[in-house]
Chain A
Amino acid sequence: MSFLPPLESPQTIDVSLGPQHPSTHGVFRMNVTLDGETVTRLQPVFGYLHRNHEKIAEGNSWLAAMPYTDRLDYICPLTNNWAYALAVEKLAGIEVAGRAEFIRVITAELTRLQNHVAFLGFILGDMGAWGTALMYAFREREKILDLFESLTGARMMCNYMRFGGCRCDLPPGWLDATRKLVDGFPKFLDEMEALLTGNEILLARLQGIAPLAVDRAINGGMSGPVLRASGVDYDIRKVDNYGIYNRFKFRVPRGTVGDCYDRFMIRVLEARESVGILKQAIAGIPDGPVVNPKAKQRGFRPPAGEAYGRIEGPKGELGFFLIADGSDKPYRFRIRPPSLINLTLLEELCLGTKIADVMVILGSIDIVLGEVDR
């Protein structure tokens, strides 16, 4: 007597992946229906880290929302700070101090470097190469976090940007240390590429997996590296020219088919471009105050109105939609989270692939749950 079902009958099983899973990058769950090893349905389940950030921000002063933004995408606090500061500056028409613009570019590009480097380590972990690649990546990331710590006092919860500038000036010797790190960074990227990009297993696990067509990527609201991996030439640093990005020469790398390999390689290429921007910014940084003296921080009351400000975050378009009613609190504080919106097409990408590829596809999108659930 056999308890196994007859082979002819179609059998699907439901698997709950997560919320505690080493490859979901946090507390994230997917209800996956499998036919054998093939995915036939995938439903993401959100909300494990939800703390209604937007409601908290609407109950506090404009400045008090700044440290909360650190906790959105906690890998990249400085770009989160910048996006919020940029939206407020648009809302109230505040000019940013010249030196602060350079500091913002330097810190944002350092953030992008360490995010993309951490991504390289994480996606190798998703493929089963636990440890080695991640340790190499985190060794480099730690050096950048040391710079953040000496500048802002915190490795990850920086709370550094202010309306019209930054909180404090660079400490003595910081620029030299940064220059040294930036000069040595291409060597690390070369080493990482020599280790990874031609690796046979890596190619087998990434190439041709979950290609994303251009029209689907645009309609699905993909942004940042995921959008560009599909071959779209759209970088908000070039399109909006926010901050002072029009002063720097850099290229926008693009993929061709938008498969996992393109999404992987685009991060390596973007990191190389960031190194170029950093070199130009460090060479050109002027002296002066780091915050616009006319900009009010405490007791800040912007006039009634609304503004949507966005930046090219390391994970995609990070935007803040703010409505002011003339009081000392935001009337509406909305975050456009790239991590959440880049998951819109997750099911579409995963259908028909094997269960082991789901982790790699999720890893190639690059999410942080602090931002997905807010």
Chain B
Amino acid sequence: MNGVLEAIRAALPNAVVELVNNPSPSAQHSLLVDRKDGRAVAEFLRDSLGFDFCSNVSGVDWPPRKVKETVVIKEMVDGVGKEVKTTVERDVPGYLEVVYHLYSIAKKTGPAILRMRTGDRADDVSVPSLTPVWKSADFQEREVFDLFGIRFDGHPDLRRILMWDEFADHPMRKDYAAPDDFEYEPTPHDEILAKVKASTEAA
């Protein structure tokens, strides 16, 4: 991935791209791209580096969390300056993330992994759609929109795909709570019950 990162930095010097290290033995490191540069980086990857096949689009939900970090601070102990290790808890604000797994059919290389993050999990949930770059992202981005609530700017047909259109929530979010009765719909019977209840209460 370092080669890909250098190529992007050379061609698009203004793009904000950084390497995300993956500690797993799979060693599949990824590139975190700022939202505003997503489209340009994707087009560069497709046209100049030959990543013509967008295999997989995944959403990931990262709720606000606390990260424990060990930091070294200087402290005065008995009048002597000492370096002391302490654990500090840092708050990381929540965000949503989209991960694209790209392959090159022509060069038979890959995966190149592209990530984009939203500003938060409530209002600022837009990222640019990469469907104009890779048509294969079409249904997958719709699925991420449906299940995670990430909005894809520039998607040609951003509708729910697996849940029904009237469904309001985003079930793949970590804080999603399933309702007791999925199938509840108001019926004329409910109106009659309400009328009966109102009349008995009035009496």
Contact = CB atoms under 8 A, between A and B. Distances in A.
Interface of A: 46-47, 50, 52, 54-55, 90-93, 216, 218-223, 232, 234, 239, 302-310, 317, 319, 321, 323-324, 332, 334, 336, 340-341, 343-345, 373-374
A238 to B, nearest CB: 9
B138 A234 contact: no
Interface string B52-78: 111110101000000000000000000
Contacts of A306: 22, 24, 26, 28
Contacts of B134: 219, 221
Contacts, number: 109
B163 A50 contact: yes
Contacts of B140: 340-341
B30 to A, nearest CB: 8
Contacts of A373: 162
Contact of A308 (B52, B105, B111): B111
Interface residues of B, number: 34
Contacts of B54: 221
A47 B25 contact: no
30 contacts: A47-B162, A47-B163, A52-B147, A52-B162, A52-B172, A54-B172, A55-B172, A90-B25, A91-B25, A93-B25, A216-B135, A218-B52, A218-B53, A219-B52, A221-B134, A221-B135, A234-B108, A239-B108, A303-B24, A305-B25, A306-B24, A307-B24, A308-B26, A308-B111, A319-B56, A321-B99, A334-B56, A340-B139, A343-B139, A344-B139
Binding site secondary structure of chain A? mixed
B56 to A, nearest CB: 4
Contacts of A54: 147, 172
Binding site secondary structure of chain B? loop
A306 to B, nearest CB: 6
Complex A-B, nearest 5 residue pairs according to Cβ-Cβ distance, in ascending order: A221-B136, A305-B24, A93-B25, A307-B26, A334-B58
Given A46-B161, A47-B161, A319-B101, A52 B58 contact: no
Contact of A319 (B55, B105, B138): B55
A225 to B, nearest CB: 15
Contacts of B99: 321
A3 to B, nearest CB: 34
A332 B23 CA distance: 16
B40 to A, nearest CB: 18
Nearest to A54: B172
Interface of B: 22-26, 28, 52-56, 58, 60, 99, 101, 105, 108, 111, 113, 134-140, 147, 161-164, 171-172, 176
A89 to B, nearest CB: 9
A239 B99 CA distance: 22
A232 B104 CA distance: 12
A308 B101 contact: yes
A221 B163 CA distance: 23
Contacts of B171: 52, 55
Given A219-B136, A332-B60, A343-B139, A308 B53 contact: no
B25 A344 contact: no
A307 B26 CA distance: 6
A55 B176 CA distance: 10
Residue from the set B23, B56, B108 with the largest chain A CB neighbour count within 10 Å: B56
Contacts of B147: 52, 54
A50 B58 CA distance: 17
Given A234-B108, A344-B138, 18 more contacts: A50-B163, A52-B162, A52-B172, A218-B52, A218-B105, A220-B135, A221-B55, A223-B55, A304-B24, A306-B22, A307-B22, A307-B26, A308-B113, A321-B99, A334-B56, A336-B101, A344-B139, A374-B162
Contacts of B138: 344
B2 to A, nearest CB: 18
